[in-house]
Amino acid sequence: MEFFDSHAHYNDEKFDEDREQIIKETYQSGVTKFVCAGYDIPSSIKSLALSKKYEYIYSICGISPNDIPQNNTELWKSIEEISEIVTQNLTKKLVAIGEIGLDYYWNKENKELQKQAFIKQIELANQLALPIVIHSRDAAVDTIQVLRDNPVKEKGIFHCCQQNQEMIKHALELGFYISFAGPITFKNAKNAVDVVKMVPLDKLLIETDSPYLSPEPNRGKRNDCRNVRYVAEKIAEIKGVETEEIARVTYENAMKIFKI
């Protein structure tokens, strides 16, 4: 069985001690492709470097809502810088702009700046004909509104998707993929069954969001891509299909949205 982990942060400092080893073990465990996600400028540069070094690692670059500068001038500078980096490194290994979006859980005070950063990076994705990877936390209504007002040509993915039925309904209507991570396996995940059932197999992706959010039975430990199988198992159980089937369709879907 082969897996495609659609979102991990092997660029995170939590992997500084044993990154090479974990990357090797990830591949050997059957996770034969994964995406290393940037969230600011240094982490985007690191993700590009990893994708150049390893054939089976792909890169996404962008500035997350939790990593944007706190004033307009600095924000424009950062957006310009990330645009230059992406444009200069545009190869088949750079598969999306992300993670970008809105996060009102961690940051409620700068909603307008978050929206500006989100919209500017959607424009960048549209210029380069890339999909986007969306981080949306406690900001469902505004996230959907931004996507309606600023159509994304190549669509994209709701990453580590919150278990919010209303948001998923609109995300699917807009043609986006839904990527589930560890939280659907948690014992207190109240809506997991309902939301997983809502997403058709051809719009489904799986991810770890490593090093965070380890799925059961490894909850609380550092996460790595090898745990993506637990997310697949949980979805298979809910949908009443084999884990192989989930592994296969999510692999194919990732290949399609990332144009690999």
Count of residues that interact with Ni ion, criterion CB under 5 A: 1
Angle between helices 111-128 and 72-88 (to 10 degrees): 20
- Which stretch in 11-19, 71-79, 207-215, 250-258 sits in contact with Ni ion by CB under 5 A? 207-215
Q: Toward Ni ion, which CB reaches closer, 185 or 210?
A: 210
- Which stretch in 69-77, 89-97, 204-212, 251-259 sits in contact with Ni ion by CB under 5 A? 204-212
Q: Smallest distance from the beta carbon of 152 to Ni ion, in angstroms?
A: 18
Which parts of 80-139 interact with Ni ion (CB under 5 A)? none
Q: Which residues pair with 133 in a beta bridge?
A: 98, 157
Q: Smallest distance from the beta carbon of 242 to Ni ion, in angstroms?
A: 28
Q: Toward Ni ion, which CB reaches closer, 37 or 113?
A: 37
- Which stretch in 100-108, 168-176, 191-199, 205-213 sits in contact with Ni ion by CB under 5 A? 205-213
Q: Toward Ni ion, which CB reaches closer, 5 or 209?
A: 209
Q: Smallest distance from the beta carbon of 186 to Ni ion, in angstroms?
A: 17
Q: Smallest distance from the beta carbon of 181 to Ni ion, in angstroms?
A: 9
Q: Toward Ni ion, which CB reaches closer, 47 or 83?
A: 47
Burial of 198 (0-12, 13-18, 19+ CB in 10 A): middle
Which parts of 208-237 interact with Ni ion (CB under 5 A)? 209
Q: Toward Ni ion, which CB reaches closer, 130 or 236?
A: 130
Q: Toward Ni ion, which CB reaches closer, 158 or 230?
A: 158
- Which stretch in 90-98, 122-130, 181-189, 202-210 sits in contact with Ni ion by CB under 5 A? 202-210
Q: For the chain, what is the HEC assignment? A: CCEEEEEECCCCHHHCCCHHHHHHHHHHCCEEEEEEECCCHHHHHHHHHHHHHCCCEEEEECCCCCCCCCCHHHHHHHHHHHHHHHHHCCCCCEEEEEEEEEECCCCCCCHHHHHHHHHHHHHHHHHHCCCEEEEEECCHHHHHHHHHHCCCCCCEEECCCCCCHHHHHHHHHCCCEEEECHHHHCCCCCCHHHHHHHCCHHHEEECCCECCCCCCCCCCCCCCHHHHHHHHHHHHHHHCCCHHHHHHHHHHHHHHHCCC
- Which stretch in 55-63, 101-109, 165-173, 203-211 sits in contact with Ni ion by CB under 5 A? 203-211
Q: Toward Ni ion, which CB reaches closer, 209 or 236?
A: 209
Taking CB positions, which residue lies at the least distance from Ni ion? 209
Q: Smallest distance from the beta carbon of 63 to Ni ion, in angstroms?
A: 12
Which residues are near Ni ion by CB under 5 A?
Answer: 209
